Amino acid sequence: MRAFEYAAPKERRQALGLLGRSWGDTEILAGGTDLLSLMKDDIVTPKRLVNIKGVAGPELHAIMRKQNGVQIGALVHLADLPSASDIRERYPMLADAAMEAASPQIRNMATMGGNICQRPRCWYFRNGFGLLGQKDGKSLVMEGDNRYHAILGNEGPAYFVSPSSIVPSLIAYGAKVTLASASGTREVALEKFFVIPKDENQREHDLRPDEMLTLVTLPAPPAGAKVAHYEVRQKAAFDWPLATCAALLEMNGGTVKSARIVMGHVAPIPWVSNEAAQAMAGKPVTEETADAAGAAAVANAKSLGRNGYKIKLARVAVKRAILMAAKGGQA
């Protein structure tokens, strides 16, 4: 790891003041589970780390009920989500996604904000070929081994997949994030926070180098909504999913009034499938309708060469999430 300066401010305004103007100047240290690996691999080489864990006040650290919704501080640990009654009882899909994420050691360290801002696991990126995985202007992903790469939103030049297995659930619940800088704060729908970069200087989200993600705000869950999160994962635990889906179904008696279907690990951004949602609207949940929604979700998917199987997996993830949601979510 390269040398860096380290500051652990106690006040939010100090933390914001310590952030740099361009990427490479500073990085925010929270859980550190992704950042330190990126630094050891020489992928991210900040001159300064700003450790925000000691920033005083409940804003960053607490889960608070706000009006009918809930505010989750950026520094809340993943391990604390399932055990918080506000989350467990009202946002069970989020509790479940957090419980399934990574390993207990990581869940004890990693934070809500860090989970949202974590960098892609694309092996070209992690091997030093840049976020877009290019060499001499050519995409190594397209020419090489893309078995874990994007099947949607993969027109290029970005082919990596969005790494969080929690974000799809947050988006399905309609989450917003608060981004603070020394000059003020702004609130962005989490869905809009993620962007597909067009060049190597862009990141995969809308956070600016001098900004800090401080809060995740969830509106009240729709009354009687049925939810479930499904991960297609080869190993029983601690394994990056091959495809995930968060499904939120608002019911009208026996039929779906409206649905939110958000897929993960299939595109450079969390992928909101309006096609799948429309396919479910006005329909009862059956094996056939759920499968049709899955088919609609991947109708525009395209293989990069080695990842065609992921189209099937994404379709299955959507189908199973919808079926599980209708059955009342998972245990």
Partner 1 sequence: MAKRDDEIKQIPGEESGNGLSRRSFLKIGGLAAAVPVVTGPKIIQVGGEQVEVHGPHAAPITLMVNGKRQTLNVEPRVTLLDALREDLDVTGPKRVCDRGECGACTVLIDGKAVYSCSTLAIDAQGKEIVTIEGLMAGATQLSPVQEAYVQHDASQCGFCTSGFVTATTAFLRDHPNPTHEEMVRNLGGNFCRCGTYGGIREVVQAHAGGKRAATEAAGAVAVKGGF
Partner 2 sequence: MADKYAWPAENERAYIGKRISRVDGPFKVSGRAKYTYDYNPKGLLYGAVLRSPYPKARIVSIDTSAAEKMPGVKSVHIVQKDPTGKPVTIQFAGDDVVAVAAQTEDQAEDALRAIKIQWEVLPHFVQDEKEPSGPLQGPTVMSQDDLVGALSNQMPQGQLIQQLKTNGVSFKVDDEFIKQMKQFNIPQPIIDAVQQAPYHPEAQNQPQSPYKEVRNETKGDPDSGFKSADVTHEGLYGSTVITHCCMEAHGVVAEWPDPDHLLVHISTQSVSSMPGQIAGGLKAQGVNIDAANIRVEQQNVGGGFGSKFSADRWGVYVPMLSKKAGGAPVKVMLERDAELEVAGARPSHYARVKIAATRDGKITAWDANGWGTGGPGGGAAPPLPYVFDVPNQRNRYISVSTNTGPSRAWRAPQHPQAAVITMGALEDLAAKLNMNPVEFFRKNIEYVTEARRQIYLDELDIADKMMNFSSRWHPRGQGGSGMMRQGLGLSIHTWGGRGHNSNCDFTIHPDGSVDIKMGTQDLGTGTRTAILIVAADTLGIPMEQINLHIGDSSYPTSGGSGGSTTIGGVSSSTRRGAVDARDALFAKVAPALGSTPDKLVARNGKIFVEGDESKALTWKQACAKIGPMPITVQGKNPGPENLTNSGVGGVQMADVSVDTETGIVKVNKMVAVQDCGLVIDLKTAESQVLGALVMGVSYALFEEKIYDPSTGVMLNDNMEFYRLAGLGDIPEMQVHMMTGKGYDERGVIGLAEPPTVSPGAAISNAVANAIGVRVPYLPITPDRVLQALESEEKGARA
Interacting positions 235-254 with partner 1 (CB under 8 A): 236-238
What Rg value do the Cα atoms of the chain yield, rounded?
19
Count the helices and strands in the chain (H runs, E runs).
14, 14
Binding window for partner 1 (CB under 8 A); candidates: 147-155, 167-175, 234-242, 256-264 = 234-242
Q: Which does 8 bind (CB under 5 to 8 A by kind): partner 1, partner 2, none?
A: partner 1
Q: Is 146 in the site for partner 1 (CB under 8 A)?
A: no
Q: Among positive and negative, which fits the CA dihedral 209, 81, 73, 10? A: negative
Among 23, 36, 145, 197, binds partner 1 (CB under 8 A): 36
Of the two residues 41 and 287, which places its CB atom closer to partner 1 in the complex?
Answer: 41
What's the distance, CA 76 to chain centroid?
15
Q: Which partner, partner 1, partner 2, none, binds residue 19 by CB below 5 to 8 Å per kind? A: partner 1
Shortest Å, Cβ 78 to partner 2: 17
In this structure, which amino acid lies at residue 63?
A: I
Q: How far is it, in rounded angstroms, from Cα 274 to Cα 74?
A: 28
Q: Is 191 in the site for partner 1 (CB under 8 A)?
A: no
In this chain, which of 5, 143, 287, 288 binds partner 1, going by CB under 8 A? Answer: 5
3-state helix, strand and coil shares in percent for the chain, rounded to the nearest 5? 30, 25, 45
Characterise 329 by phi-psi region: left (phi > 0), alpha (psi -120 to 50), beta (else).
left
Q: Which two tokens stand for residue 41?
A: 């691999």
Mask 98-127, x = binds partner 1 (CB under 8 A)?
-xx-xxxxx-xx----------------xx
Spatial separation of the C-alpha atoms in residues 148 and 160, rounded to whole Å: 8
Asked if residue 21 binds partner 1 (CB under 8 A), the reply is yes
Is the Cβ of residue 79 or residue 142 nearer to partner 2 in the bound state? 142
Short-list 266, 302, 63, 60, CA closest to 168: 266
Nearer to partner 2 (CB atom), residue 39 or residue 75: 39
Query: CB under 5 to 8 A by kind: which of partner 1, partner 2, none does 274 bind?
Result: none
> Which span (25-33, 161-169, 200-208, 277-285) binds partner 1, by CB under 8 A?
25-33
Other CB atoms within a 10 A radius of the CB of residue 309 amount to 13
Q: How many CB atoms lie within 10 A of CB 64?
A: 15
Site for partner 1 (CB under 8 A): which residue of 33, 71, 118, 289?
33
Minimum distance, C-beta of residue 210 to partner 1, in the bound complex (Å): 7
* Block residue for tokens 């009240």: 220
Q: Which does 57 bind (CB under 5 to 8 A by kind): partner 1, partner 2, none?
A: none
Contacts to partner 2 by CB under 8 A: 1-3, 121, 123-124, 126-127, 129, 135, 140, 143-145, 147-148, 232-240, 242, 306-307, 309, 312-313, 316
- Given partner 1, partner 2, none, residue 14, with its beta carbon under 5 to 8 Å by kind, binds partner 1
Phi, psi of 208 (to 5 degrees): -95, 160
Hunting for tokens 């597909």 — which residue is that?
196
Rounded to the nearest angstrom, the gap between the alpha carbon of residue 219 and the centroid of all alpha carbons in its chain is 18
From the number of C-beta atoms within 10 Å of its C-beta (0-12, 13-18, 19+), residue 298 rates as: buried
**Whole-angstrom distance, CA of residue 119 vs CA of residue 132:** 12
Return residues touching partner 1 (CB under 8 A): 1-9, 11, 13-14, 17-22, 25, 29, 32-33, 36-37, 39-42, 45, 47-49, 51, 53, 79, 99-100, 102-106, 108-109, 126-128, 182, 210, 236-238
